[in-house]
Amino acid sequence: MSMKCLITGASGFIGSYLTEFLLGKGATVYGLSKQVERLSKSLDIQWVQWDILNRKGMAEVIADVRPDVIFHLAAQSLPRVSWEKPETTFQINVFGTLYLLDAIRAAKINPVIEVFCSSGEYAVSLDGRPIGENYPLEPSSPYALSKIAQDHLCVMYGRAYQMPIVRVRPFFIIGPRKTGDVCSDFARNIVMIERGLSDTLTFGNLDAVRDFLDIRDALEAFWVVAEHGIPGEVYNICSGHGVSVRDILEKLSSISKASFHIRQDPARLRQLDEPVRIGDNQKLCALGWRPSLSIDQSLQYIITYWRTVKKNQVSDINNL
């Protein structure tokens, strides 16, 4: 019998890739999502329409599926939105996790539970050095604060009820199909320029330095943590190297098929930002994982994807 894996938030960027990855491992995959219209019917996945805030529905799904491994991805994950909707952010990220953990307890099962927290939980690195898992936590948005609450909830439940919960704190995972991040936004806008739909690329803070990791490397990391991570521990998911937004723009410009103007957009500047955020991945690497893809390979992967997207969809990301 194949391993049963359940993914909450399966229609999201990471979730959609993770479903494909787990199928490749021979697992039986159950994908939970509220966005049923975004679910891929071409994959051999057991899709479940599901609302993270429906406590009764959550208990029924867990009792019925009885998974061996759970990847808890479902979240309100946009810092900008969290300033506009802090209550909704806390409901989804904290209470949604609470309902999941209680459902697992009620079903009297003992699956490996990989909970996706956030690198946004960490305090600003004043000296720019890589941030390890023991670095102080200090949120810069309601989203990050909700993730700290989720994080501590998981630690408490793990200790109180001997639940095999392992947490991950992804930094900046990039790849095709993602929207709303700097790499994809730059690549999408460049493709719009190549197609004559625009002549200007807008940006926020070009001096910010971030730790970008290709989704393909990230998937391997998530799997390694599920297989070998120690319950109660937390692992950074990151490359261990920083790249400035300016470098991202220059690299994408070098592979662009058209020239363009650039302009700063104040709306893209965050209310609370930091100059450098790089993760320390030594703890993850100790489990046997290593990143294999360069930032140049990732950016080529992303812009190639946008060049295959239909013209009207490139200009309207809500259609994707």
CATH number at residue 297: 3.90.25.10
pTM, full prediction:
0.91
* pLDDT at residue 37, rounded to an integer: 58
pLDDT tens for each residue of the chain, 320 residues long = 689 999 999 999 999 999 999 999 999 999 999 876 555 565 788 988 889 999 999 999 999 999 999 999 999 999 989 999 999 999 999 999 999 999 999 999 999 999 999 999 999 988 889 999 999 999 989 999 999 999 999 999 999 999 999 999 999 999 999 988 999 999 999 998 999 888 888 777 888 999 999 999 999 999 999 999 999 999 999 999 999 999 999 999 999 888 877 776 666 555 446 789 999 999 999 999 999 999 999 999 999 999 999 766 666 544 44
- Tokens 């970008």 belong to 212
Whole-Å CA distances, 115 to 69, 93, 97, 118, 280: 11, 11, 9, 10, 19
Q: Are residues 206 and 216 in the same domain?
A: no
Residue 284 within any structural domain of the chain = no
Q: Are residues 85 and 40 in the same domain?
A: yes
Domains identified in the chain, total number: 2
Residue 285 within any structural domain of the chain = no
Cβ-count burial of 33 within 10 angstroms (0-12 exposed, 13-18 middle, 19+ buried)?
A: buried
Q: Are residues 181 and 154 in the same domain?
A: no
* pLDDT at residue 147, rounded to an integer: 98
Q: Are residues 99 and 134 in the same domain?
A: yes
Q: What residue numbers bound the domain in which 258 lies?
A: 177-210+241-279+292-319
Q: Are residues 37 and 64 in the same domain?
A: yes
CB 111 within 8 A of CB 86: no
Q: Are residues 15 and 84 in the same domain?
A: yes
State the DSSP H helix or E strand holding residue 140, giving kind and residue range, or none if neither: none
